[in-house]
Amino acid sequence: MSEKMPLLDIQDLRVAVEGKEILKGVDLAIYPGEIHALMGPNGSGKSTLANTLLGHPKYQVLGGRVLFRGESILELPPHERARRGLFLAFQYPVAIPGVSLGDFLRSATKAVRGNGLSAIAFRRLVKQKMELLKMDPAFIQRYVNDGFSGGEKKRAEVLQMAVLEPHLAVLDETDSGLGIDALRTVAEGVNAIIEAHADMGTLVITHYQRLLDYIQPHFVHVLVAGRVVESGGRELVEVLEAQGYEPIIQRVQQDGLAAVGGR
């Protein structure tokens, strides 16, 4: 499952937002083909990590390193990170009235892959991906997220991920605002992409167990107060579901545990 060099290697990452330090030394390594889940209470820094990885200008890196496929990326602008194969599915996708999803995908594909893909090849690619995700072809004629339900917005994100074929997909609370049926549909789409791209790494950020009932992680990490304080396998999800985060939070507060980081 793993190779010698991590796909993503986060080392002692410290990040501030508006002068307040949020991430306080995060260590995390993801190898090709691995699915990692990052869990934690509100305010622990999960979305801060996601946005920092993709280069959001609001987030100030105070220290540490982020290597992607062996290359330091913290100095790269967001579009260059995307070109190298990083993808972020947003917690709250924005609407773009007047721009069809098909045109948006074409522009995004050109930005990431360059102009080497012809219009015919692009249409063939989108058709293939929509068949993989079992989506109605008419969906791409609609304006991006304009009037979309919560589930439709997340399915549009999954379609973008399928078309762009990233090396690493970061899913920032993809389950947010979804009902049971929509959650299952979105998770099935993500799983279809993972199965079709065996070397793709996946980082699933979530509060709850329910998404991880469908997208089965190889590794689970708990982020508390800006640090990864516990890591384990799928069984850790069951512990969190049964006990919540409070026992871990109390232990961190009482013992002053350092980050355990890792895999």
7-19 tens-digit pLDDT? 999 999 999 999 9
Eight-state DSSP code of residue 232: E
The CATH code for residues 8-255 is 3.40.50.300
Question: Residue 261: is its pLDDT beyond 60?
Answer: no
pLDDT of residue 188: 94
pLDDT of residue 256: 64
Question: Residue 26: is its pLDDT beyond 50?
Answer: yes
Give the domain ranges of the chain.
8-255
Task: Round the average pLDDT of the chain to a whole number and report it.
Answer: 91
SS3 category, 72: strand
137-191 tens-digit pLDDT? 999 999 999 999 989 999 999 999 999 999 999 999 888 878 889 899 999 999 9
Q: What backbone phi and psi angles, to 5 degrees, belong to 186?
A: -65, -45
Distances (CA, A) of 253 to 10, 27, 179, 229, 247: 24, 20, 35, 11, 10
CA distance 35 to 172: 14
Mean pLDDT of 193-202: 94
pLDDT confidence bin for 1, thresholds 50/70/90: very low
CA distance 21 to 62: 8
Sign of the Cα torsion 135, 136, 142, 145 reads negative
- 247 in Cβ contact with 215 (< 8 Å): no
Q: Which of 259, 222, 204, 256 is nearest to 64 (CA)?
A: 259
